[in-house]
Amino acid sequence: MTTTPAPPAAPPVLRLRDVHKRYGPRTVLNGADLDAAPGRLIGVVGENGAGKSTLLRILAGKLRADRGTVRLPATVGHCPQTVVLHHALTVAQHVRYFQVAYGLPEPTRAWELLEELRFAAGPRDRTGTLSGGTRQKLNLAVALMHDPELLLLDEPYQGFDWETYLRFWEIARSLRERGRTVLVVSHMAHDADRLDALHRLAGGRLTPVRDGGRA
């Protein structure tokens, strides 16, 4: 009898090893490790101030770790907790700005995402006039519009109504099906079932709470 060897596991798209970060005397990350394979939905939970946003900012290249190694794919999207939009610019100006920043020939994906998220504002509306949840939809769409291999989302659905929250998870699932890796900082216990793996950040380290085996 011949046996077919199992296919080798896909190499991690994200690898974090022994990452340290302190702000003055305060140590926030103290040897954080994480591996993420392609096509995984991964959650990170932790108490307020545990260092989740710090971790994501390091992964997004917006903050330098004091020590340790971070291996990332070529394209990374980051949707930070604080909306990065400028209140005086219109919706269309934001889409155009990020299209140019990412070097995209067309901004089509941004408009598709906004439609999927039931975006109610018009292209000429200034973001300063939008509701918090509506601004967050634009924040999310511009983080996703270049279809990054790794997507870092810091509580991405703050201010979303229930229907939009469910649509967010549909988008996350379709990204996973296309081999994208999505890392979500979450406070919601009922998100856990939607994820392939869940890690807790405490004491500056990441510990798997639940792991689907390939995260």
Ligand X SMILES: Nc1ncnc2c1ncn2[C@@H]1O[C@H](COP(=O)(O)OP(=O)(O)OP(=O)(O)O)[C@@H](O)[C@H]1O
Please, what is the minimum distance in Å from the beta carbon of residue 59 to ligand X?
12
Q: Are 65 and 21 in contact (CB under 8 A)?
A: yes
Does position 54 interact with ligand X (CB under 6 A)? The reply is yes
The interface region with ligand X, picked from 7-15, 34-42, 49-57, 190-198 by CB under 6 A, is 49-57
Is residue 53 part of the contact set for ligand X (CB under 6 A)?
yes
Could you give the CA distance from residue 80 to residue 33 in angstroms, rounded to a whole number? 21
Q: Is 28 in the site for ligand X (CB under 6 A)?
A: yes
Nearest to 156 by CA among 146, 147, 148, 167: 167
Residues facing 205 on adjacent strands? 202
Q: Which of 12, 38, 43, 51 binds ligand X (CB under 6 A)?
A: 51
Residue 138 contacts ligand X per CB under 6 A: no
27 belongs to the binding site for ligand X (CB under 6 A): no
Q: Are strands 76-79 and 150-154 parallel, antiparallel or unpaired?
A: parallel
Tokens coding 178:
């296309």
186 binds ligand X (CB under 6 A): no
Q: Which is nearer to ligand X, 30 or 93 (CB)?
A: 30
Quote the CA–CA distance of 27 and 204 in Å, as a whole number. Answer: 7
Helix (H) or strand (E) holding 173: helix 162-177
Report phi then psi at 24, rounded to 5: 55, -125
Region of 2-10, 42-50, 106-114, 163-171 interacting with ligand X (CB under 6 A): 42-50
CA distance 48 to 108: 37
Q: List the interface residues with ligand X, window 64-123 (CB under 6 A).
A: 81
Q: Is 43 in the site for ligand X (CB under 6 A)?
A: no
* Phi, psi values for residue 23, rounded to 5°: -110, 110
Which amino acid would we find at residue 95? V
50 touches ligand X (CB under 6 A): yes
**Residue 179 sits in the site that holds ligand X (CB under 6 A):** no
Least distance in angstroms from the C-beta of 174 to ligand X? 27
Shortest Cβ 206–ligand X spacing (Å): 12
Provide, rounded to whole angstroms, the least separation between the CB of residue 49 and ligand X: 4
- Within the chain, residue ranges assigned H as helices are 52-59, 91-102, 108-116, 132-144, 162-177
Residue ranges binding ligand X (CB under 6 A): 23, 28, 46, 48-54, 81
